[in-house]
A and B are shown apart, each in its own frame.
Chain A
Amino acid sequence: MHPAIRINSVTKCFGATLALAGIDLEIAQGEFFGLLGPNGAGKTTLISALAGLVRADSGSLAVMGHDVQSAYRSARRLLGVVPQELVFDPFFTVRETLLMQSGYYGIRNNAAWIGEIIEALDLGDKADASMRTLSGGMKRRVLVAQALVHRPPVIVLDEPTAGVDVELRQTLWRFIRRLNGEGHTIVLTTHYLEEAESHCGRIAMLKQGRIVALDTTANLLRQFSVHRLRLRLAAGGELPAALHARAVEEAGCWVLSFADFAEVEVMLAQLREACCPISEINIGQPELEEAFLAVMQRDA
């Protein structure tokens, strides 16, 4: 079985700027994959190369085994891309936009699936409204719908929730999770790391055109992030000296980092031994944001 996406030694320069510096990446079919990185890391360039909007200087890219240059027609039929920019054609209604997008992919009589997408993305009330009258959030929904009209097995979402409200995010993620559950491969780029953390099974982090971390989300969290024991001491309480080395004071609380839950018992024992009164205690999960920052700083 071909991987959903195969990228081999892809490089791309824009003038003197090296946008992609030899990217190798394979994404299996059915994955929910995250592509993270700071602005200018090369995420959008990589997606654009995959979509045929940018031509790689060297290397090759394939979608479901179809090279994006030599077999571009097949590759593009298998790929749906939600662009980052909020672009639209002001001449048409939502339904016209979707019907035409479907036609570009060679699909006629697609009204049933388009109707389903419209419903799933809560666009029903606006289906016959002109694109230019829609709010930013609604336009974003149409962008997502346009990427899905041809039922592509591989869907790339380039910052799909940038600047949109909570309701759309929930609607969108519900639909995307459903598609992923039905076997569609999802590739997501986002600056909202909590979204990547909660949806992506595997993540690649890019920096200056290079992949600097590639692993499952769980492994990245384990490797680059820590659990936290957050304590609020009661009046008169004083943190034992033995815990100071791993403690940081934040907003009136002590935050103690640990990698293994066995350490919690040790820390609590030290607190009991020092008769330290505690008024509040909770354990925080590792966060992808922390792992992301750790990776970026490691490779600074």
Chain B
Amino acid sequence: MTGFRTLLYKEVLRFWKVSFQTIAAPVLTALLYLLIFSHVLEDHVQVYDSIGYAAFLVPGLVMMSILQNAFANSSSSLIQSKVTGNIVFVLLTPITYAEFWLAYVLAAVVRGMVVGFGVLAVTLFWDTPLLVAPLWIVVFALLGGAILGTLGIIAGVWADKYDQLAAFQNFIIVPLTFLSGVFYSIHSLPPFWQSLSHWNPVFYMIDGFRYGFFGISDVSPWLSLLVAGASFAVLAGLTLAMLKSGYKLRS
């Protein structure tokens, strides 16, 4: 397990050494979203009866930050290692493909959680969200980070250049996270978009996460857990098969 622990440590140290870029910047971005959206929409949007719009927005922004940063961590680390060639230092060692996967996923979760805490901490100045069911918060935060961290591995291994990774991020990850109910309840959408949202697994992660704060959600947290858990299992299986085959890593 020392090999796995070292790879995990290295991946955490890697983002920690550039924490302005990897932690402070996404926290600031989330803060700007909160400032702008809550300022513009606070008096116009009431998602749940008992909750103000800014309070509604906070869990969504926290979860969106966790997801996007988890994805960014594993994908950027892998593409960078592949492009510069230093991935060879890991590939030459006895680290197994399962350890490789787990180390990258856990590092992605750590970064997601650190950024998530950061966002939560700065948003406390605006609105103190409730913590109705903290266990759901932790479960969805970990699961969401792990799902997007795994997706980041797929993207990082698949992409041969930064341009391809940017396309993956901009055309898949960003739409999935933005169109998932971060800024609104899907009940406010027209029927077509509402049913389409039910096909977006990120919607369940955010909805389940938000349930932990308010005890209110668009769908049952158990359904969200089922969808998120199934998404994780499918993606983890796919990633492990990819790593075992040596796809784009071992020719």
Measured between C-beta atoms, what is the minimum distance from B73 to chain A in Å? 13
Beyond A91-B17, A104-B3, is A72–B89 a contact (Cβ under 8 Å)?
no
CA of A55 to CA of B9 in the docked complex: distance in angstroms?
29
Q: In the complex, A252→B163 CA distance in Å?
A: 60
Contact B84 A87 (CB under 8 A): yes
User: Is A146 engaged at the interface, CB distance under 8 Å to the other chain?
Assistant: yes
User: A52 vs B81: C-alpha distance in the bound complex, in angstroms?
Assistant: 17
In this complex, how many residues of chain B approach chain A with their Cβ under 8 Å: the count is: 27
Please count the residue pairs between chain A and chain B whose beta carbons lie under 8 angstroms apart in the complex.
81
Q: Tell whether A89 is near chain B: CB-to-CB under 8 Å.
A: yes
Q: Are B6 and A103 in contact (CB under 8 A)?
A: yes
Neighbour of A104 across the interface among B17, B18, B89, CB < 8 A:
B89
Given A104-B6, A105-B3, A52 and B89 touching (CB < 8 A)? Answer: no
Q: Is B32 positioned at the interface, with any CB of A under 8 Å from its CB?
A: no
Size of the chain A interface, CB-CB below 8 angstroms: 33
Cα(A197)–Cα(B30), bound, Å? 63
Would B251 and A105 count as touching, CB distance under 8 A?
no
A54 located at the interface, meaning its Cβ lies under 8 Å from any Cβ of chain B in the complex = yes
C-alpha spacing A138/B246, complex, angstroms = 31
Contact A76 B94 (CB under 8 A): yes
Min Cβ gap B251→A in Å is 5
Asked if A55 meets B3 with Cβ closer than 8 Å, knowing A73-B96, A83-B88, A85-B85, the reply is no
Inter-chain contacts of B9 with A (CB < 8 A): 100, 103
Residue contact A87 to B6, C-beta cutoff 8 Å: no
Judged by a CB distance under 8 angstroms, whether B95 is at the interface is yes
B residues whose Cβ falls under 8 Å from a Cβ of A = 2-3, 5-7, 9-10, 13-14, 17-18, 81, 84-86, 88-96, 246, 250-251
Residues of A that sit less than 8 Å from B by CB: 14, 48, 51-55, 72-74, 76-77, 79, 81, 83, 85, 87-92, 96, 100-108, 146
Q: Which 7 A-B pairs have the closest CB atoms?
A: A103-B6, A87-B85, A73-B94, A104-B93, A106-B2, A89-B86, A76-B94
